[in-house]
Structure 1
Amino acid sequence: MKRSSYRRYLVPGVAALALTLSACGAGNEDSGSDADVPAGTEELSGTLNGAGASSQESVQNVWRANFQGSAPDVTVNYDPVGSGGGREQFIEGGVAFAGSDAYLDDDEGQLTDATERCSGTSPIEIPAYVAPIAIAYNLEGVDDLQLSATTISGIFNNEITTWNDPAIAADNPDAELPSDTINPVYRGDASGTSENFTEYLAAVGEWPHEPSDEWPATGEAATGTSGVIEVVGGTAGSIGYADGAQVEEAGLSTVSVAVGDEFVAPTPEAAGAILTASTPVEGRDEVDLAVDIDHTTTEAGVYPIVLASYLIACQTYEDQEQADLVKGYLSYILSEDGQEAGANDAGAAPLPEDLRSQAADIVDAITVG
C-alpha cells in the first residue's frame, strides 16, 4: 500500500503551495485575468518561496499564470529541486512550503522534524496534484506497448534486457519487437516519483528491493522529471518513468499497464479513480490528508501507478503577509477553477469533490501565530 487516498475530516489548519517561475509557463500568462480566484486576491502583495517536486512544475506554471494574472503584486517562487530537496528545505526553514510526491515519513524522522520546525504543531499535508506516473519508452516501430507488473519489474531490475524478450512478447503478441538492448532510465536524485513507482513494483511485481525515493537498481541516471524525459526521448531503446502530463507534453509513447484482465493507459481520469480505492494513513493528525494508495486494485479503468503530490506547510505563520499569500494561493488551487485549469492545461486529475472540500476547509483556517 502506498501514499494516496484521503482522510475524512473537516478541520482547521494551514497549507502551502508550490509555484514555479519557469519560462515554460510564460505562454499561459494571458489567461490569468480570467481566473475565478478567491475574493481579496487582487489586494495581495509580496513574495512566497517554496521548493520541491519537479513533477509539479507543469501544473504550477498553469496555476501561477492564472493566480498572478489576478494578483499582479504577488511573486510566488518554486524551485523544482525534487521532493527530497523540498522536504529538507522546508524542515530547515529555508522555504515557507514544500511540494512533495510522498508524504512525510515518520520512520525517517521527517514528520517529527517538520513538527519541530512548525513550533510544535503538526504540519499540514494536502494532496494538490494527482497524476499518473507514465512509463515512457522510445522504440521505433512499436507504438502501442502493454506490460504486466512482473515484466515491468524485470525490465527495471535489469533481468529483462532485450526488447524481444519472451516476457515482453507474451504481453504484446501482435507487436514486431526488435532485438535491441533495453536502456532503463531512472531518477538519479531523491524523488517521490521513484518512491511511488517502487511502491507499485513492490506491491504487485517481483521486485526484490525496498521502496525508496533513492533508486535501488542500475541503469542510466537522469536528474529531475525533465532529465528522464530528455534521456528517454533522445536515446533509442530507452524506457523510464515520469509524470504523465510532462511525458504527454513531450510527445513520448507510453505503456499501458495490466490491471486485472485489461491493460490501462496512463490518463488523468484513470489515475484519479484510484483515490476512491485507497485509504487514509493511520495515526495522522486531523490536518494531515496523507493517504495510502492501493496499487493492487483490479477495478476496471483504474491506472495503478500514480503520484499524489502534496503541499506541505505549517498550521500558522509568524508573518501576516506569508499567511495571507499561502491562504490566497492555495484557495485558488483548490477552487473549482484551479482544479479545472490543472486538468485542462496540465493533465492533472481533479480531486474528488469531498477531498477538495476538506482541503479547502483546512486552508480557510490559516492563521498567524
Structure 2
Amino acid sequence: MRHRRKDRRGVLLPVGATAAAAAVALAGALLISMKSEDGTDADRNTSSAGPVARIDCAKQGKVPGSGSTAQQNAMKRWIKEYEQACPGVRIAYNPLGSGAGVNQFLRGGFKAFGGTDGALTPVDVERSREVCPGGRAIDLPMVGGPIAIGYNLPDVDDLVLDAPTLAKIFDSRITRWNDPAIQKLNPGVVLPELPIQAVHRSDNSGTTQNLNAYLAGAAPAQWPYPAEKSWQGKGGSSADGSDGVVSEVASTSGAIGYFELSFATARKMDTVRIDTGAAEPVEASTTTASAGIAAAEVIGKGKDLTLKFDYGTSAEGAYPIVLVTYEIVCDRGNDKEVLPALKSFLAYTASEEGQKILPEIHYAPLPENVAEQVREVVATLS
C-alpha cells in the first residue's frame, strides 16, 4: 500500500512546540505591501484582529533592506507585526533575490541589511569593509525552511525522487516522466509519457545555491557542479524569482521546479517526497526541515554565524534540501540613525515571539541554540 501525502493545509508545529504557539499566531489574514525603493508607503495596513506582539521597540527610524525572495513571506509577516507594535518605525524589504540583496548591501548607502540564502564569500567580506567602517559584514541566520520540489503532473499527486534522479532531471539527462529511474522509485504509480520541463531560477539566487549544494553533496557523481548562486545544470527553462518559477511550473503540464515551501502551499501545488535512504521518503514540511536544520554546524568566525548542512543525511524524518536565509549586517560601522531600529527589528525576528509564528506561514524556526546566538550578536551591533 502506498503512503499518501499528508494534508498540508494543517498547521505543522516544530518539535517541542505547544498548542499555545498555534493560538498566539495569525488571528487574521491581513497583508501589508512593502515600501517601494524610494521609501514611500504603498497601501500599508497595520490594523489587525490579533494581539500586538511583545516587542522592545525603537522610538523611530527607517530600516531599508532587500534580497532573498525565499524569506519574503516571513518578512511580510514580521514587518506587519513589528510596525503594529512599533508605529514610530518603518521597515522596507524589497525581495529582489539573494544576489541583488548582497550586491545592494555591498554598494552601501541605502540598505541597512540584506537578505540572502547563501552566506557571504570571502571576497564579499573584504568588499564589505568599505561599507562597514571599522568592521565587516556578517551573516545572521534568521529563517529556516525546506526547498520544495514542486511538480505539475496530471493524475499524480504523490511522487518520490532521490538525489541522483533529481540531478539527472535538472541536468537534462532524464527527459521523460515515465523514465525507468523514476518508475523504480514509484512502483504502482502510472507515470505519463510526458516530456519533463525542468524550471530553474534565471537570477542569482541563494535558493539555487542551496539546491546546487544539496545535489553536489548528496549526488556528486551525477552533479559535478559548484554550489553557486547561478544555475549550473544544462538545459531546462528559467524564470525570475521563486514566484516566477512556481508560476511557470503551475502553468506548464510536465513541469518541475524548486522554491521555498510557502510558494508551493499558496498554489496548492504537489511537492516531491525525497528518498534519503531512511525507512520512508521524507516530505517537505516545517517539521521535517527543522529536523534537517537541527543537525547544522555553525562554521562562521567571530560574530558570523554561517551554518553548514549535512545534505547526505538519512535520519528518519529529516528533509535534506533545506536552507536558512541570512540577514547581512555590519558588525560595526552601522548608520547611527538607523542602528536602534535595526537592532530592535532583528532582535524581534530572532526572538521566541518572532520565531514561533513561522510554522503558520510554512517556515521552520531556527533551533533555539542558534536563535540565542543570533540574539546575542544583534545586541552587540554598533
TM-score if structure 1 supplies the norm length? 0.88
Structure 1 residues 200-240: Cα deviation after superposition (integer angstroms, max 9, x where no partner)? 11111211322211112221110001000100011111000
Q: Does 1:21 align with 2:47?
A: no
Alignment of 1:280-299 (within 5 A): 280-281=298-299, 284-299=300-315
Q: Does 1:218 align with 2:235?
A: yes
Distance 1:231 1:319 in 2: 40
Q: Does 1:307 align with 2:323?
A: yes
One-letter identity of the residue aligned with 1:134:
A
Structure 1 residues 7-50: Cα deviation after superposition (integer angstroms, max 9, x where no partner)? xxxxxxxxxxxx97179x989843487233323x1x52231111
Structure 1 residues 280-332: Cα deviation after superposition (integer angstroms, max 9, x where no partner)? 22xx4321010111101111110000111000101234533301111110111
8 Å contact 2:203–2:240 — kept in the other structure? yes
8 Å contact 1:63–1:342 — kept in the other structure? no
Distance 2:128 2:49 in 1: 33
Indicate the residue corresponding to 1:104 in structure 2.
Answer: 120
Note the aligned Cα RMSD (angstroms).
2.0
User: Which ranges of structure 2 fall in alignment gaps of 5 or more residues?
Assistant: 1-31, 37-41
Moved more, 173-182 or 207-216: 207-216
Deviating runs (4+, > 6 A) in structure 1?
A: 25-28
Q: Does 1:340 align with 2:353?
A: no
Deviation of 1:78 after TM superposition, in Å, equals: 0.9
One-letter identity of the residue aligned with 2:34:
L
Q: Does 1:271 align with 2:289?
A: yes
Distance 1:73 1:364, change over 3 A: same
8 Å contact 1:317–1:323 — kept in the other structure? no
Indicate the residue corresponding to 1:244 in structure 2.
Answer: 261
Q: Does 1:258 align with 2:275?
A: yes
Distance 1:278 1:362 in 2: 19
2:106 to 80, 91, 100: 91
One-letter identity of the residue aligned with 1:51:
S
Indicate the residue corresponding to 2:332 in structure 1.
Answer: 316
Distance 1:116 1:272 in 2: 36
Q: Judging by fraction of residues, say which structure has more helix.
A: 1
- Aligned to 2:257, the other structure's residue is in SS state strand
8 Å contact 1:188–1:215 — kept in the other structure? yes
8 Å contact 1:20–1:76 — kept in the other structure? no
Distance 1:83 1:55, change over 3 A: same
Distance 1:33 1:319 in 2: 33
8 Å contact 1:32–1:70 — kept in the other structure? no
Distance 1:318 1:117 in 2: 9
Distance 1:118 1:233, change over 3 A: same
Moved more, 133-142 or 357-366: 357-366
Distance 2:273 2:46 in 1: 34
TM-score if structure 2 supplies the norm length? 0.85
Q: Does 1:352 align with 2:352?
A: no
Alignment of 1:1-369 (within 5 A): 21=34, 29-31=46-48, 34-39=51-56, 41=57, 44-93=59-108, 94-106=110-122, 109-205=123-219, 206-216=222-232, 217-261=234-278, 262-281=280-299, 284-344=300-360, 346-367=361-382
Distance 2:213 2:334 in 1: 37
